[in-house]
Structures are given as structure tokens and as C-alpha cells.
A = this chain, B = another copy of it.
Amino acid sequence: MPSLAAARQHTLRERNLELVARAVYEAPEPVSRADVASSTGLARATVSTLVDRLVAGRLLAELAPVSAQRAGRPGVPLVPAARSVVGIGLEVNVDYLGASVIDLMNDVVDERVEPGSFHDSNPAEVLPRVGDLARELIASAESEGMRVAGARLALPGLVDAHSGLLQVAPNLGWSTLNPVPLLGLSGLRVDVANEAKLAALAELTGDVASSFLYVSADVGIGAAIVVDGHLFLGERGWNGEIGHVQIDPAGPRCGCGATGCLEQYAGKEAVNRAAGLPADAPVEALVRAVEARSPAAQAALERAASALGTALADFVNLVDVGTVVLGGAYTTLLPWMRDDVEATLADRVLSAPFAPVRVRGAVAGPYAAMAGGAREVLRDVLASPADWV
């Protein structure tokens, strides 16, 4: 989420510094000072001064000069500085906790993940463990001269976009909680966000669509709405609860208290149980079962895909975003679910006859929420580079 600090008024000089930093950061390839002048519309001399400041402050780095492609245009390629300023992504999910350090090159500098079972866990025991992990990674990064800009904590529940309070995380059994003090990370700015929303932001790379619905399965099913590269958060940031869309009024009871929720058809534990596997079996076990043509596993995935297609159709009909990105366990299971999901979308989405819904797997890897969280921290750095140089 954009922080309030990032929204404050900048001087013209600070604004130009931001423009130059972003021009380098967002370019797909290394760019020269001349390229930056051209893409920002700033004078060449202004750009040079600002680039020098960003290089001296280690937000940008210069590569070896390349021979001029045309006369009079020798280029010193500029790139974001590696292992200089870093952001930290933290996460507690139902079956793991972890921390990840990412630099301005978008490289994972360090990462720790501890598998566990955090169903109905005690936040006063779990969050200090995340804090300990973070402290280890921070100490290691600082010992190598990196500066830690801040951290984002991803949680699988309703997080208030304004206050950062966790309202409820049903699958953790947590409610009405300010998680940050329990981390014990004094002196570090830590913001809190819903895990699916941070994972969605990790998909905003390269040339993928900048508008998509992100839906990710773990035990629960989270979602995020991204339009033109920005999260749509609704009124309070509690949106994307697709796991509790009703699939069948006669369906099974959900942990949330309602009946027939998507989570009971297409959540990880529900699919595992229907497939005859232990509830906490890893997704690879389900893949092995369906590849071995287990009828129970095949039926479980068909039921999950049909239910997911129905909920996604509701989502697209209500929100109108024409691309769906499937993350978490769905990325792995997509080959066995795609046909049923797409058929249901084609049947149910009002705009499908003239604009079929596109479905693709997530690309950001298994700990996308940590990656997205760390990148959000760095996005704030680039919105106020003057604070760092």
C-alpha cells in the first residue's frame, strides 16, 4: 500500500529526483542519462546532476560505458543499485512463517521460511518468531553495508488499510489485533497488509496485464483487485474475500460460520480431504494422486474448478476486470483445473461472448506475498528518494 509518507508534498527538486529514479527503476533495460532526459522531459544537465546524486547516494549504479551506437552519444548505462537499500517482506500463513530481503534490482538477497502449523495459533508466540527472523536478516544485511528501508507484514485476513490493524484472520484464529508491536522490531517501520494483496503486487512485473484479479489458494482463498497497476481496496481494505462467496446454499458449513463458501470446495484442505488425502498434504501429493488417475483426486479437482469458476464469474461480473491470475496452490494445479474454470467463466460472465476472460498462472513464485511486501517498501523509497541520498 502507498504509505502516507509517500503522499506528502514534494518540492520540485525532490519531484524531479523521483522522476529520474523511477525512469531508471522502471526501464526494462539499463538506460543512459540521455535516455532519462528523453523519457522524463527534463533538461540533460538537470538529469546529470540528479543522477550523480542518486549514484552517490547508492540508489543507482553505473555500469561500464558502452561504445557509442551513434556518433556523439556515448552511454554510461544506469541501473538500480544492487544490495544497497533493501526492503523486508514478512509473512505468517497457515503453514509457514518467513522473511525475505529484496534489493532495488528486485533480487532476493536473503530469505528464511519456517514451515509450521499456525491454525488457531497464539499471535503473541508466533509474531515474536517472525520478529526474530527479521532481526537476523537485518543484522546480516547491515553487516554487508545494506540499508533496511522498512518492512511489510503479510497476514491472511482482513487488515484495515488505514490503521494497519488485523480485524480477523479466520484460518490463524486471530482477531482484533495490532500485530506490529508483537514483532518487537523497534526502530523499523513495519506496515501490515493482506497477503493476497501483496502477492498480487508481486505480479506487476514485465509486460503482463496491469489490470487483473488475483486469486490465490492456500487453506483459505484470498484475492485482490488490480486496475491499471494499482490495488483497489474498497472502503477499508477488506475486499477480495472470494473464499466466502456462496457456491451452493445447500453446501457444507465453513469456518466463517456461513454455509457453502468457496473455501469448502476449492481451499487446500477441502480439496485434500475430498481427494482422500490428509488435510495438510502438500499440493505435490495432490498432483501425484491426480497424475496416478485417482478417481477421488480427479473428482475433487473437478469440483474445485467448477466452484472456483462460479466464484470467479461472480467476481468478474461484479468488478469487471478481464484477466484472472491464479496464485498459490492454484498455480501448480492450473493444468488440471483450467478447462473447467474457463468453461464456467464462458457460461456465466455477461461480457464473455465478446471479451473472453483470460486466465493465467501467477509468476512470482511460492512466497509472492513476502516479495510483494518487500517491493512495496522499495516503491516507497523510490517515491521519496531524497530521504535516502
Q: A interface vs B, CB < 8 Å?
A: 158, 167-168, 170, 176, 211, 223, 225, 227, 232-242, 244-249, 256-258, 310, 313-315, 317-322, 347-348, 350-351, 353-355
Q: CB < 8 Å: which of B236, B238, B318 contacts A241?
A: B318
The residue on B at minimum CB distance from A310 is: B246
A223 to B319, alpha carbons, bound, how many Å?
A: 10
Contacting residue for A244 out of B168, B348, B354, CB 8 A: B348
User: How far is the CB of A231 from the nearest CB of chain B, in Å?
Assistant: 12
Closest Cβ–Cβ distance, residue A183 to chain B (whole Å): 23
7 A–B pairs (Cβ distance < 8 Å), ordered by A:
A167-B354, A170-B350, A176-B354, A241-B317, A244-B313, A245-B317, A258-B313
Residues on B with beta carbons closer than 8 Å to the beta carbon of A350: 158, 168, 170, 238, 241, 244, 256
Chain B min CB distance to A60 (Å): 31
The secondary-structure label for the interface of chain A is loop
Bound-state CA distance A350–B257 (Å) is 9
Q: Which of B168, B245, B257 contacts A318 (CB 8 A)?
A: B245
Q: Which residues of B contact A310 (CB under 8 A)?
A: 246, 249
Distance A220 CA – B37 CA, assembled complex (angstroms): 53
| B residues less than 8 Å from A322 (CB atoms) | 235-236
A385 to B233, CA, bound (A): 33
Q: How far apart sit A233 and B321, CA to CA, in the bound complex (Å)?
A: 9
Q: Which residues of B sit under 8 angstroms from A246, Cβ to Cβ?
A: 247, 310, 313-314, 348
- Chain B's closest residue to A317 (CB) is B241
Given contacts A246-B314, A314-B245, A354-B176, contact A239 B348 (CB under 8 A): no
Contact of A234 among B223, B241, B319, B353 (CB under 8 A): B319
Query: Given known contacts A257-B347, A258-B347, A314-B246, is B354 in contact with A320 (CB within 8 Å)?
Result: no
Indicate which residue in B168, B242, B247 contacts A249 across the interface (CB closer than 8 Å): B247
Residues of B within 8 A of A227 (CB): 234-235
Residues of B within 8 A of A176 (CB): 354
Contact status of A348 and B249, CB under 8 A, knowing A240-B318, A318-B223, A320-B239: no
Q: Flag if A314 contacts B320 (CB, 8 Å).
A: no
Q: Which residues of B contact A235 (CB under 8 A)?
A: 211, 227, 320-322
Q: Name 13 extra pairs, CB < 8 A, besides A227-B234, A238-B350, A258-B348.
A: A158-B351, A176-B354, A236-B322, A237-B320, A238-B351, A241-B318, A242-B318, A244-B313, A245-B317, A246-B247, A246-B310, A249-B310, A318-B319
